Amino acid sequence: MREITFSQATLEAMDEEMARDERVFVMGEDIARQGGIFGQFKGLPQKFGTERVLDTPITETAIVGAAVGAALAGMRPVADMHFADFMGVCMDEIFNQMAKIRYMFGGQITVPVVVRAPDGLINQAAAQHSQSIEAWFLHIPGLKVVAPSNPADAKGLLKSAIRDDNPVIYFENKALFNQKGPVPEDEFFVPIGKANIIKEGTDVTIVTYSIMTKTVVKAAQMLEKEGIKAEIIDLRTISPFDKDTILESLAKTNRLAIAHEAVKIGGVGAEIAATAAEEGLDYLDAPILRFGASFTPVPFSPVLEKAYTIKAEQIAEGIKKMF
């Protein structure tokens, strides 16, 4: 199978969906003139015109607000946030408008908005351009939240998100954009709400998503040398997360660990751990482990940034103590 980058995979998804449905358009900062800061919109203005690939002023409030209005008028907008960190500027449009309108109208209207949000650590981008904020949106009813870990899932999830009649927050880790992986040439979709078991095991279940999936795979390889067989679940969708797959795995392995790049306190891992404790307590033979970043802003210093990042060795050592 051919290999392309994460960025190219999302570009293909946009190209295919815009060609299929003239109601699909994209708007954001510097996407027509620059093609997106990660190349994820390169060539779209030339193919579809600047009426469907819109450069906007630097105002996230206007971008998301206009996207919500366009969706209510029958369009299928994709709103690019440049960096996920900037979503705080337009939170009212996201959690008071986009997330609630379909419910408030009794399902008589749809809100097919995709908000693309590049998130996560990238070399010395510091405290205001490096955050992983997916847990904010897990707490908001009415939103779907996805976070792919590889190019194939990036394409398949984006296509599913664009065709969904509900608002979807699409987190795409900045460090993944240049990473390559196999992507089918035929059209395909990754269903929202369905996790992927990327490695089967019998001794411990490790739940992860996005960039941390690669770190967890390395940790599992270390554990394999110690005779510990880890089962790895890539969530892919954070809301609604695939509870059934997690509990079925936990019933088999009897141990659970969760790892994400985001801050540990109040993170996605906390919700998964609580769900496992409420609904799968009888399966557990050891305390649940959570791995996440320290409760501090992301440092600018290279040394501190490296210390802030969760390592495969930390995950492997922590899990070994469960036995």
* CATH number of the domain encompassing residue 278: 3.40.50.920
Same domain, 203 and 174: no
Same domain, 294 and 213: yes
Query: Which of 127, 156, 182 is at the close of a domain?
Result: 182
Please indicate whether residue 129 is annotated as part of the active site.
Answer: yes
pLDDT, residue 1, reads: 86
pLDDT per residue as tens digits for the range 237-273: 999 999 999 999 999 999 999 999 999 999 999 999 9
CA–CA separation, 55 and 140 (whole Å):
29
Q: Is residue 155 part of a domain?
A: yes
**CATH number for 87:** 3.40.50.970
Same domain, 94 and 155: yes
pLDDT, residue 59, reads: 95
Same domain, 81 and 136: yes
Mean pLDDT throughout 80-106?
96
Q: Is residue 187 part of a domain?
A: no
Same domain, 229 and 260: yes
Contacts of 14 (CB under 8 A, 6+ apart): 24, 26, 40, 41, 44, 78, 158
Q: Is residue 189 part of a domain?
A: no
- Considering the candidates 82, 129, 139, 260, report the single residue annotated as catalytic: 129
Query: Which of 125, 160, 182 is at the close of a domain?
Result: 182
Q: Is residue 266 part of a domain?
A: yes
Same domain, 253 and 152: no
Residue 152, helix vs strand vs coil:
helix
Mean pLDDT throughout 128-141?
96
| Residue 227 bridge partners (DSSP) | none
Same domain, 50 and 142: yes
Same domain, 149 and 16: yes
Q: Environment class of residue 282 by beta-carbon count within 10 Å: exposed (0-12), middle (13-18) or buried (19+)?
A: exposed
Mean pLDDT throughout 63-78?
98
Number of domains in the chain: 2
Range of the domain at 93: 3-182
Q: Is residue 191 part of a domain?
A: no
Query: Which of 182, 207, 239 is at the close of a domain?
Result: 182
* Closest residue by Cα to residue 145 from 41, 309, 40, 262: 262
pLDDT, residue 113, reads: 98
Q: Is residue 190 part of a domain?
A: no
